[in-house]
Amino acid sequence: MPAALAISRPGRAQPFADVVAENLDAVYRYLVYITGDRVASEDLAAETFEKAYRGWRKFDPHRGAPRTWLCRIAHSVAVDWFRAEARRQRREDNYMRDAQMLEESVFADGLSPELDHALHRLTPAEREVVALRVLLELDGPSAARVLGISQTACSTRLSRALKRLEEEVGDVRV
């Protein structure tokens, strides 16, 4: 899937339905990586696209690809979700849910249990950068823009996340 979508006509972006079709999987996967929760990610993905649809007329293709724009919205939605979760003191529930989810892969189908477990051990911020750079294949500047950090910080975070992921996978294997 291309990282950037071409504008179909000069002065007019592609129809929103096409944007949904092209980016829903990526956004959903991104949200799953941040939250570690497929069910919650479905709600968040729906909310993301709802917000995106409302702001679709304001979307400026000159400033970035639709995927980057959607990821920024998804990031904001996910952060709000985390805040709400923190407020509701549902850490314990999450733990229970995570414990159940460990039995099946949360982040993707076909991942090894070690990798899935290792991903669980990462922080949402680390999983987020992995999702953006590795899975969604966003380039450094776009990913940095989504995260609201500098490109250098983004690279550092990615490097640490991958290193830690490898360590966690190694630990699980051992």
Partner 1 sequence: MSASEFEGHEEIVAALTAGKLDAPEHLRRRVLAAGPGAKGARVPMSPRRRFLLVLPVAATLAVGAAVVHGAFFAGSSATNGADARLLPLHIGNRPGGSVTGPKGPTGAAGATGANGATGHIGATGHNGATASGTPAYPLPNAAGSALTSKTAHRSAAFEEYQASGAPVSPQKSLSSLNTIAIPKGRLVHATAYLSVGVANTNALTQATNNATQIVTSLGGFTQSSQIDSSHFGSGTAFLDLRVPLAHTETAIERLGRLGHILSQSVSTKDLEQQAQKETSQIGQLQRTIVIYKQALATGTLSPTQRIDIQIKLSNAEHQIAGTRKQHSKTVKAGTTAEIKMSLSTTHHGGAAGHHKTGKLGQMLHNIGTFLGIEGLVVLYALVIVLPIALVAALIWWLTRGRRQRDERRLLAAETA
Residue closer to partner 1 (CB basis): 148 or 171: 148
Least distance from C-beta 14 to partner 1, angstroms? 6
Helix (H) or strand (E) holding 35: helix 16-35
d(CA 32, CA 127): 9
The CB-of-101 to partner 1 minimum distance in angstroms stands at: 9
Q: Give, as ranges, the residues between 3 and 62 that touch partner 1 (CB under 8 A).
A: 7-9, 11-17, 19-20, 24-25, 27-29, 32, 34, 36, 42, 45-46, 49-50, 53, 56-62
Sequence-separated (6 or more) residues with CB below 8 Å from residue 93:
none
On whether the CB atoms of residues 134 and 60 are closer than 8 A, the answer is no
Give me the torsion for CA of 137, 149, 44, 165, rounded to 10°. 60
The site string for partner 1 over 84-123 (x = CB under 8 A, - otherwise) reads -xx-------x---x------x-xxxxxx--x----xxxx
The contact pattern for partner 1, residues 143-172, with x = CB under 8 A and - = no contact, is -----x------x--xx--xx-xx--x---
Q: Minimum distance between the CB of residue 119 and partner 1, rounded to whole angstroms?
A: 8
Nearer to partner 1, 71 or 169 (CB): 169
For partner 1, the binding residues in 59-78 under the rule CB under 8 A are 59-62
Per-residue CA distances from 61 to 25, 75, 77, 146, 172 (Å): 20, 19, 21, 15, 44
- Rounded CA gap, 54 and 88, in Å? 28
